[in-house]
Amino acid sequence: MKALILIGSPRRDGNSAALAQAVKKGLIEAGHETRFIFADDAVAGFLRDCRQCRRADGECGIEDGFRATFLEDFLPADGFIVATPVYWYGMSAQLKAFFDRMFCYVAASHPQSSLVVEQMTGKRIGLLLSSEETFPTVAAGIVHQLQEYSRYTRSTFAGTVHGYGNARGDLGRDPHRPLASAEQFGRDFFTRHATDYQIDTPRPGRVWGECTTA
C-alpha cells in the first residue's frame, strides 16, 4: 500500500516530525511504500478566491508545489497520516492550508474534478499529535475535523497517537512512549480495527473475537 505522511510543523526536527519518522518506520517494516512531506514545502500560500485566480484552462493559478504534491503524492496514496502540533487548540496553519487548497481541485470548475473526487474517497486516515498540554480535549477540534473529513470523503479514520512535549526531543522523554505507539500505528495502519457504525451496519457482536484468557 502507499502511504503519505504529511507534517504540519515548520520544525524539521520537532516533535511532530519525530512521530512522523516513527510511523514511517512502522509502515516500512510492514512493507508499505511511504512519502514523507512537510506541508510548507508544498504550500507557499493560502487558498485564494478561485474566481479571481483560476487559470483559463481551469487549473489553479497559484504557482507553488501544491499541485504536484496533491496530484502525485496525495491522490494516489491508499492512506495518509497527518502529523501536527496543536496550535491554539487547532492544527497548524500549514496543514490547514494544505486541506483548504484541495478545494480548487474538487470544485466543479476544475477540469478533472470528478476524477479528483473519486481519488479522494476511500482512504485510510491517521493523525499524530504533539502538544504541551495534556488535558483530554486539547486536540478535540483537530480530531473532530479529521473525523468529519473522513466521513465526508467516505474514508476510514484509523486513529490517533498523541505525544506530550514542547522542546525539540521532548516526545522521546514522554513516559507514555508515543514514539513506540506511532511505530506500532505505522505497522498496522492499513489493517487495524477501526469502526464507525451506522444503525444498520452488520456487526459481529464481539469486537476482538473469542476470549482466550479469563
Ligand X SMILES: Cc1cc2nc3c(=O)[nH]c(=O)nc-3n(C[C@H](O)[C@H](O)[C@H](O)COP(=O)(O)O)c2cc1C
Residue selected from 114, 137, 166, 191 as contacting ligand X according to rule CB under 6 A: 166
Q: CB count, 10 Å around CB of 112?
A: 14
Q: CB count, 10 Å around CB of 107?
A: 15
Stretch that binds ligand X, among 38-46, 81-89, 103-111, 150-158 (CB under 6 A): 81-89
Q: Please give the residues from 110 up to 149 whose contact with ligand X meets the rule CB under 6 A.
A: 130-133, 138
Sheet of strand 79-85, all strands in order from the earlier edge strand to the far edge: 33-38, 2-7, 79-85, 124-131, 156-164
Length of the chain equals 214
Greatest C-alpha distance within the chain: 67
Stretch that binds ligand X, among 29-37, 47-55, 80-88, 140-148 (CB under 6 A): 80-88
CB of 17 to ligand X, least distance (A): 6
| Residue with smaller CB distance to ligand X, 46 or 89 | 89
Residue 88 engages ligand X in binding (rule: CB under 6 A): yes
Residue 94 engages ligand X in binding (rule: CB under 6 A): no
Residue 12 engages ligand X in binding (rule: CB under 6 A): no
Q: What's the angle, vertex CA 3, arms to CA 86 and CA 192, rounded to 5? A: 80
Residue 178 engages ligand X in binding (rule: CB under 6 A): no
CB of 145 to ligand X, least distance (A): 15
Q: What is the DSSP string of 73-99?
A: IITT-SEEEEEEE-BTTB--HHHHHHH
Residue nearest to ligand X (CB): 14
CB of 3 to ligand X, least distance (A): 19
Instruction: Give helix 178-187 / helix 15-29 axis angle, nearest 10°.
Output: 40
Amino acid of residue 210: E
Residue selected from 44, 61, 89, 121 as contacting ligand X according to rule CB under 6 A: 89
Name the grid cell of 77.
496514496
Chain residues in the site for ligand X (CB under 6 A):
9, 11, 14-16, 85-89, 130-133, 138, 165-166
